[in-house]
């Protein structure tokens, strides 16, 4: 039996996905019309295909709910959420390329370089990455220049070589390096953790929250990032391709080493439970108002796809 | 015999290149040290290799000289110049990839995916693109939040699908489309024109110049962009690989169509002369103080590599 808070959580998650997709449609639609006469139709189609392909929209959800908790204006938060999803989706498009993870399927659908071609996939990724900074810095994101600038800078760091891109580079090396526990955690904190951390920090920054609140939400985002990756590692060994919509057992098969292969599934499940508790503790000053975000931690830790 | 203004121009061009390379060294050096413990060494090496590979540093020069003309503070202008060069170099790295132009040589040296590998080249491009926004939005770029934000937004548009990335996508299609004169000009204005235009606009924005001055420098940048591309098309048919440091005759060989193949070399040379005159006219309100930028137009129109 689902509890009332679970129902509310699911509703909010679905609502965030719905709204961020509508915003992404708007933003990409503007790109198709704006300014110059010539439009690279095929590139725009590939960008749409890479972005509007379903998915839980977890990062946008975290931006939106953190912003809501701290009373940030909802429309700018939605734009930040959409920009962050552009970054996430660009990284998926590039990661799937033959020279990288060489994946033909993503969420059960052909990846961008399969549905289009490799050159278009590379450019679609580049275009989405660039678009994210356009969206946040734009006047349409109705926040002060100072706040927009902080959001741009924090995003560039989360997505750059000290964050996601750097983590991806380390991940490529991991097949040879066979890293230990500490190294795996650092790599994952960069590769997937940095954007989840940003998602939670961004909501607080958009709200103009004080430094200690931003730090608290950043910490919450870090815990979420850890939980997400541990759950992902569990799924890689326990799920099947049909459920996951992508190949499974790949990390283990490539000898990359995950915490599951290093510590075992049970130990990882225990860690996950501890992380969910820690997330709830970090949010405790907000009381009931943070229920949705607390539930998010549990959802991420126990997700089955 | 070279005139005094030519000598001064050459000295300024070399000085800008020297200083922007030192700034790029500093910025990439910070990335190697900053924050987290783990650093993706190989990725950082590839980024350095892709950025610190010589070249005229024309875009940084234009930022620096436009900023100087309008009394913008030199250190922030240098950081913007370095950020713009990161964008330019990322685009070269991605354009050279096997799925794109498939070039093994760039300025006589192995391209990044040859010197490293394809995956690293893709990530190095992504990293440099992201780093550019980090550099401009950073507090170290000591300009007001409002100006930094305008610089970020204008750069995201110059580099995005309405600019460079879109132009590159159209260029890929041009092999099949065989575009006419108007279409070629639009494509080139996006692919190579947008960053040159930004270079000149950025110096004015950094100076806090009024709207009409920003518009004037933007127009100057557009003319520079046109001249650059026409000169490039001429070089593609008249130069040889040893002088150019890359393959020649490629555009014509691929049937992409350039203005040279469409109108003939003489007509293009006449256009170039007219553009140089127009550039000088646009800068005439600044009198002698704009001599270096006027010379830049002539240099770009008549360059032989």
Q: Which two tokens stand for residue B111?
A: 């391209």
Percent residues over pLDDT 90 in chain B: 76
Interchain CB contact of B162 with A (< 8 Å): yes
What is d(CA A198, CA A191) in angstroms, rounded to the nearest whole number? 12
Percent residues over pLDDT 90 in chain A: 76
Mean pLDDT value of segment B233-238: 84
Residues of A with Cβ-Cβ distance to B97 under 8 angstroms: 119, 122
Residue matched to tokens 């998010």: A296
> Which of A100, A144, A148, A156 to probe by mutation at the B interface, max B CB count within 10 Å?
A156
Report whether pLDDT(B6) > 90. no
Residues of A with Cβ-Cβ distance to B130 under 8 angstroms: 129, 156, 159-161, 165
Residue matched to tokens 């959580």: A9
Confidence of residue B78 (pLDDT cuts 50, 70, 90): very high
Percent residues over pLDDT 70 in chain B: 90
Report whether pLDDT(A219) > 50. yes
Run of H or E including B109: strand B109-110
β-partners of residue A98 are none
Residue matched to tokens 């693109």: B129
Return the pLDDT at A257.
72
Phi-psi sector, B24: left (phi>0), alpha (psi -120 to 50), beta = alpha
Chain length of chain B:
305
Mean pLDDT value of segment A51-67: 95
What is d(CA B164, CA B193) in angstroms, rounded to the nearest whole number? 8
Residue of B nearest to A171 (CA): B40
pLDDT tens per residue across span B255-265? 567 888 888 99
Return the pLDDT at A54.
85
Interchain CB contact of A94 with B (< 8 Å): yes
Report whether pLDDT(B35) > 80. no
β-partners of residue B110 are B105
User: pTM for the full model?
Assistant: 0.94
ipTM score of complex: 0.94
Report whether pLDDT(A241) > 60. no
Interchain CB contact of A197 with B (< 8 Å): no
Residues 6+ apart with CB under 8 A from B249: B236, B237
Q: Do A161 and B125 touch (CB under 8 A)?
A: no
| Nearest alpha carbon to residue B136 among B90, B78, B74 | B78
What is d(CA A269, CA A116) in angstroms, rounded to the nearest whole number? 39
Confidence of residue B254 (pLDDT cuts 50, 70, 90): low
Confidence of residue A6 (pLDDT cuts 50, 70, 90): low
pLDDT tens per residue across span A125-172? 999 999 999 999 999 999 999 999 999 999 999 999 999 999 999 998
Report whether pLDDT(A4) > 70. no
> Which of B145, B150, B161 to probe by mutation at the A interface, max A CB count within 10 Å?
B161
pLDDT tens per residue across span B165-193? 999 999 988 877 778 888 889 999 999 99
pLDDT tens per residue across span A263-299? 899 999 999 999 999 999 999 999 999 999 999 999 9
Please tell me what DSSP assigns to residue B190.
I
Interchain CB contact of B37 with A (< 8 Å): yes
Higher-confidence residue: A171 or A37?
A171
Q: Which two tokens stand for residue A208?
A: 């103009």
Residue A36: CB atoms within 10 Å: 13
Mean pLDDT value of segment B105-112: 95
Residue of B nearest to A174 (CA): B40
Chain B neighbours among A 225-284 (CB < 8 Å)? Answer: none
**Which of A29-33, A194-198, B68-72 is predicted least confidently?**
A29-33
Return the pLDDT at B182.
87
Report whether pLDDT(B1) > 50. no
Return the pLDDT at B138.
98
Return the pLDDT at A39.
80
Q: Do A129 and B131 touch (CB under 8 A)?
A: no
Report whether pLDDT(A25) > 70. yes
Run of H or E including B34: none
Residue matched to tokens 């550099």: B135
What is d(CA A138, CA A134) in angstroms, rounded to the nearest whole number? 6
Q: Do B122 and A145 touch (CB under 8 A)?
A: no
Interchain CB contact of A57 with B (< 8 Å): no
**Which of A152-166, A168-182, B51-65, B273-287 is predicted least confidently?**
A168-182
Report whether pLDDT(A76) > 80. yes
What CA–CA distances, in Å, run from B36 to A89, A190, A222?
24, 9, 14
Interchain CB contact of A37 with B (< 8 Å): yes
Confidence of residue A262 (pLDDT cuts 50, 70, 90): confident
> Which of B50, B79, B99, B124 to probe by mutation at the A interface, max A CB count within 10 Å?
B99
β-partners of residue B109 are B106
| Nearest alpha carbon to residue B263 among B171, B173, B182, B176 | B182
Return the pLDDT at B257.
72
Q: Do B137 and A152 touch (CB under 8 A)?
A: yes
Q: Do A38 and B186 touch (CB under 8 A)?
A: yes
Confidence of residue B17 (pLDDT cuts 50, 70, 90): very high
Q: Which two tokens stand for residue A274?
A: 């501890």
Report whether pLDDT(B149) > 50. yes
What is d(CA B90, CA B257) in angstroms, rounded to the nearest whole number? 25
Confidence of residue A78 (pLDDT cuts 50, 70, 90): very high
Return the pLDDT at B174.
83
Question: How does the average pLDDT of chain A come out, rounded?
Answer: 91
Pair B23, B79: CB distance under 8 Å: yes
Return the pLDDT at A181.
87
Report whether pLDDT(A259) > 90. no
Confidence of residue B238 (pLDDT cuts 50, 70, 90): confident
Residues of B with Cβ-Cβ distance to A122 under 8 angstroms: 94, 97, 99-100, 122
What is d(CA B24, CA B128) in angstroms, rounded to the nearest whole number? 11
DSSP chain A: ---HHHHHHHHHHHHHHHHHHHHHHHHHHHHHHSSSS---HHHHHHHHHHHSS----HHHHHHHHHHHHTT--HHHHHHHHHHHHHHHHHHHHHHTSTTTT--SEETTEE-HHHHS-HHHHHHHHHHHHHHHHHHHHSTTS-S-HHHHHHHHHHHHHHHSTTTHHHHHHHHHHHHHH---HHHHHHHHIIIIIHHHHHHHHHHHHHTT--HHHHHHHHHHHHHHHHHHHHHHHHHHHHS-HHHHTS--SHHHHTT---HHHHH-HHHHHHHHHHHHHHHHHHHGGGGGGGHHHHHHHHHHHH---
Mean pLDDT value of segment A57-68: 98
What is d(CA B302, CA B53) in angstroms, rounded to the nearest whole number? 23
Q: Which two tokens stand for residue B49?
A: 């290799």
Of the segments A182-186, A257-261, B121-125, which one has the largest average pLDDT value? B121-125
Q: Do A161 and B187 touch (CB under 8 A)?
A: no
Residue of B nearest to A137 (CA): B153
Pair B272, B225: CB distance under 8 Å: no
3-state DSSP assignment of residue B105: strand
What is d(CA A53, CA A21) in angstroms, rounded to the nearest whole number? 10
């Amino acid at each position: 039996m689902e509890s009332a808070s679970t129902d509310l959580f699911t509703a909010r998650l679905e609502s965030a996905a719905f709204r961020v997709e509508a915003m992404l449609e708007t933003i990409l639609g503007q790109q198709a019309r704006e300014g110059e006469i010539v439009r690279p139709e095929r590139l725009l189609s590939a960008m749409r295909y890479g972005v509007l392909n379903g998915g839980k929209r977890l990062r946008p959800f975290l931006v939106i709910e953190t912003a809501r908790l701290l009373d940030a204006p909802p429309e700018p938060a939605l734009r930040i959420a959409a920009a962050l999803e552009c970054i996430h989706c660009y990284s998926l498009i590039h990661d799937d390329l033959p020279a990288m993870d060489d994946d033909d399927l993503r969420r059960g659908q052909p990846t961008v370089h399969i549905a289009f071609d490799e050159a278009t996939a590379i450019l679609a990724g580049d275009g989405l990455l660039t678009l994210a900074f356009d969206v946040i810095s734009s006047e349409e994101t109705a926040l002060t220049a100072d706040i927009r600038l902080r959001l741009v800078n924090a995003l560039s760091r989360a997505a750059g070589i000290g964050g996601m891109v750097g983590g991806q580079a380390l991940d490529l090396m991991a097949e040879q390096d066979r890293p230990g526990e500490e190294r795996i955690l650092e790599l994952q904190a960069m590769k997937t953790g940095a954007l989840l951390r940003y998602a939670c920090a961004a909501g607080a920054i958009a709200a103009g929250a004080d430094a200690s609140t931003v730090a608290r939400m950043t910490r919450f985002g870090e815990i979420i990032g850890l939980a997400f990756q541990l759950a992902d590692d569990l799924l890689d060994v326990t799920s099947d391709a049909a459920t996951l919509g992508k190949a499974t057992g790949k990390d283990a098969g490539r000898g990359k080493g995950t915490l599951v292969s290093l510590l075992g599934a049970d130990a990882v499940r225990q860690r996950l439970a501890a992380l969910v508790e820690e997330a709830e503790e970090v949010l405790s000053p907000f009381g009931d108002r943070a229920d949705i975000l607390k539930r998010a931690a549990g959802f991420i830790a126990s997700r089955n796809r």
